[in-house]
Amino acid sequence: MNIETAIRNLAKSTCYQNLYNSAKDANSIQMFINVTNYSGVQSLFLYWLRIYSSLYEDLANKESVYLTENVINDSLRCDAYLYYRRKKQEIEIKKYHQEKQKSDMKVKDSPNTSVFNVELRGQ
Amino acid sequence: MEDLTMQEILKDIERELTDPSIIQDNKLPFKYNDEWYRIRMPNQWEEAKAQDEKNTLFGKLIQTEGYYMKKRLKQILKEKQGVDLDALEEEKYKINIRIQDYQLVLAKKYDEEIKTIEEIKQKISDLSARRIEISIEIGKYLSASIDDQIEKAYIQAVAAFCTEKVEIINGKEEWVKVWPNLKAFQDDSSLIINKVLSFTTYLLLNLRAY
């Protein structure tokens, strides 16, 4: 087992996920003995803690039919799901912007809409 | 007690770095020849001194014949040795794309599709292994670059300043520095140096790589 696997296993464990959620809610529970100057290992752990927290949240909210406990427990499937989720989000954002652009154009082209050119001058 | 072999040290590193204690604070504890050691994050003064070491070496190497920055070293390797590192980077990039394609297929598999899942996972693992091989190959060629040399100097300085061991002082256990200065660290030829450098690299791991 390499260090990243070990960190990921700790981060997805019930113990640390509960601690993380309590820390988020109460904004006071300390995760580590040190409060500043985190080591690289600790930063990596915090990164995976957030990632797994978001995955468990997705799972609870049934965000995707493809996300199961087995996916979360398998690093390769988990990475695949994270990549799929990111791509899906990118497509949704792109679609949203395209639709917004379209509706803005409609408003601008509508005959009932007046467009004024306002020139603002300082005194 | 006799010094451990390099292989035993590597095994130790792997075992010790999977212990939950590695995250409890910003120190990495480890055992060497039955004694407890630890590497801690540098304080501001130590950090500044380590940066100094890095900068001083940079100033020296940049004026020394035969030392090059990564970019120039890549060009020389291509012109003089026919080693095309850009082509290797390109191969790595293409492997990444293939991995991502497989990931999109894998992500949409249901738990019941065990056989297909295993097949795709195997393909991803094979590609990842090839990607690591290429990274190591590139790393080997570029390890002589100024960029890599100064990074090594920084890690070495942090390791020298921040490695401590337990000693009994006036009947009490205390953490004391292993080496009084960088020179003493550099003069030490025991195998503990390899262990300390590996642990320091892990301690300073950063998210840029992820």
pLDDT at B8: 64
Residue A62, domain member (yes or no): yes
Residues B98 and B163 in one domain: no
Write down the pTM of the prediction. 0.81
Residues B178 and B165 sit within 8 Å (Cβ to Cβ):
yes
Residues B18 and B116 in one domain: no
Residue A34, domain member (yes or no): yes
The pLDDT-based confidence of B22 (bands split at 50, 70, 90) is confident
Q: Is the pLDDT of residue A113 over 80?
A: no
A6 CB near a chain B CB, below 8 Å? Answer: yes
Q: Which residues of A touch B23 (CB under 8 A)?
A: 7, 10, 32, 41-42, 45
Query: How many distinct structural domains can be found in chain B?
Result: 2
Residue A113, domain member (yes or no): no
Q: Is the pLDDT of residue B10 over 70?
A: no
Residue A10, domain member (yes or no): yes
Query: How many distinct structural domains can be found in chain A?
Result: 1
Residue A114, domain member (yes or no): no
Q: Is the pLDDT of residue B208 over 70?
A: no
Q: Which residues of B touch A81 (CB under 8 A)?
A: 107
Q: Which residues of A touch B102 (CB under 8 A)?
A: 80
Task: Return d(Cα B70, Cα B57) in angstroms, integer.
Answer: 15
The boundaries of the domain holding residue A39 are 3-108
Task: Return d(Cα B206, Cα B117) in angstroms, integer.
Answer: 31
Partners of B38 in the β-ladder: B29, B164
Mutation target to probe the B interface, by most B beta carbons within 10 A, among A30, A32, A41 is A41
Residues B31 and B73 in one domain: no
pLDDT at B1: 43
Top mean-pLDDT range of A101-105, B135-139, B199-203: B135-139
Residues B20 and B57 in one domain: yes
The boundaries of the domain holding residue B46 are 6-61+148-209
Residues B52 and B156 sit within 8 Å (Cβ to Cβ):
no
Q: Is the pLDDT of residue B132 over 70?
A: yes
Contact A41 B18 (CB under 8 A): no
pLDDT at A104: 82
Closest to B84 measured CA to CA, from B69, B94, B74: B74
Task: Return d(Cα B100, Cα B108) in angstroms, integer.
Answer: 13
Residue B1, domain member (yes or no): no
pLDDT at B72: 96
Query: How far off is chain B from A1, nearest CA to CA, in Å?
Result: 7
Position of tokens 């949203």? A96
Closest to B60 measured CA to CA, from B124, B139, B145, B146: B146
Contact A39 B41 (CB under 8 A): yes
